[in-house]
Amino acid sequence: MDKPKKQRSRRAIVLLVTFPILVGLITLGTVIFHSLEEWTWIQSFYFTVVTISTVGYGDVVPTNDTTRIVVSFFILIGVAVGAGIMSLYGSSSVKKRVTKRSDESDLPTNQ
């Protein structure tokens, strides 16, 4: 398999592995916060996405100690998973650029 196909294949695998993990984490958070706080599904989803992305607008906040503890652990897990996913995407992107530049430098020049 040549390099470009191998790189595309690797990026596809990264996407196929990490996307379901991210969707699962968002789904899990939405269900947990919906049941603990009795928020609507939309509020729970919104809170989960804002929490995982570490934006934290503060417009939806936990109101009891149990949820605060769960949110603390959810933040740690969400940030770790998010950082891991971003690292995989970043390294894949960098490898793509390095390979492209390497291939371009191997091309003969017309002088």
Provide the pLDDT for residue 94: 76
Q: Which residue has the higher pLDDT, 40 or 108?
A: 40
Provide the pLDDT for residue 107: 59
- Asked if residue 103 is part of any domain, the answer here is no
Over the chain, what is the mean pLDDT?
86
- Asked if residue 75 is part of any domain, the answer here is yes
| Residues 50, 55: Cα–Cα separation, whole Å | 5
- Asked if residue 68 is part of any domain, the answer here is yes
Note the pLDDT tens digit of each residue in 64-100. Answer: 999 999 999 999 999 999 888 888 878 777 777 777 7
| Residues 97, 5: Cα–Cα separation, whole Å | 14
Domain CATH code at residue 32: 1.10.287.70
Number of structural domains in the chain: 1
Instruction: Tell whether the model's pLDDT for residue 106 goes beyond 70.
Output: no
- Asked if residue 30 is part of any domain, the answer here is yes
- Asked if residue 106 is part of any domain, the answer here is no
Q: Which domain does 25 fall in, by range?
A: 3-96
Instruction: Tell whether the model's pLDDT for residue 46 goes beyond 90.
Output: yes
